[in-house]
Structure 1
Amino acid sequence: MFIVSVLMFPAAALAAPVKVEALGFFDHPPLQPTKDAIQKVCQEFGDQVQLVFHVENTADGNKFMKDNGLSGHLPVVLYIDGSVAQNINGKTVVFRDFEGQGWTSQDLEQVLKLNVAGQKTAVSPPANALTEAWNPGAIPPGAAAFANGQSPGADNSSTGNQSSLFPIYLMGAIILLLVIIIIISVVRRPAAGRK
């Protein structure tokens, strides 16, 4: 009878949970939405996923960085069963930085579904993925994975993604300058009229 009950027990229940280790500055308010997204997705899987947060600017976070060869200022890094890079249907997704910058909660959910089902998705991370020099645009969501982990035409410079923000910053600076000029002209006008 014991043998029959063991054979009928679902194999998935015997499997070790998928381990998700999240490193980041989770004590900083801008990272709260990313932390919430990670928690929400992981909670969907109950005991099948073990989630551990490491706060980067603590002894635990520093030890985790050292143990995993991480360096620099890394807002968020997610290790899923030991790897930050995961293959989703032939595409490499690197789980680092804010949710929405190179990875989404849907990507995390898909990876966890696959791993919980026993399909391992971990792949070698691309060059610089574990350093501050990583460019989150190096493998945009949906880009095909290649043997070396890079996508074709990827800009691996540390400023590749920042260049797309330049027009926004320039427009903001121009608007700010115009507002200052208007304020100065309004303040000076009444004073000039009294003389």
Structure 2
Amino acid sequence: MNTKFILAGIFACIGVFANGQTKLIAHKSHSGSTETFETALKNDFFDLESSNFGEVPFHKRPKHILDSVVFVSDTITVLVCSNKSNSPGNQSEKYAITLSNHPIVSKKHSKKKIKTFLQEEYNFQNSLDSVPFIEYKESTTKLPKNKKKEGSFSLISQNPNQTPFDNSKLLLVGLVGVFAVLAAFISLKWKQLRFWN
């Protein structure tokens, strides 16, 4: 009984002293004013290197660069981007942001309005004046209706007397189904016999 109280006391002490909240986070979360915060920073009250848990250090923050804006359709726009880390030796990484049914980024608005919105919303590091806006046009070449792709078959046959599968495929599917049901039945009976013995 005494050991339970001792363990509870130890855990309570650990909980009090092992606080994960830093001074900087505590100041911000307890409504510290800007004036007192600036005073605290000037007097170096905080250990700034280890005081911002979760915030990426400046030298490791990537620089997001907008490469191009592609209008796929009236409702879909793709932002082709890359990011470069400030740390030496890191290569750039390409990625895309797809915007669907966006009220601002569409062909309805001017490029100037779209560029202003993108700069404010995504904070790209490059000047958006040189970013190309590409309009995607669908290809007009379509396969003829009667011509099939190689290796494909139609599920609805033109001949009403012909099934889409030949008999050997139907037989194979049927045998697999019968085997699966038989295996499930044998497994169930085996488990029942093991349970009763």
Quickly name the TM-score band, shorter chain normalised: under 0.3
Give the structure, 1 or 2, with the largest relative contact order (CA under 8 Å, sep 6 or more). 1
TM-score normalised by length of structure 1: 0.24
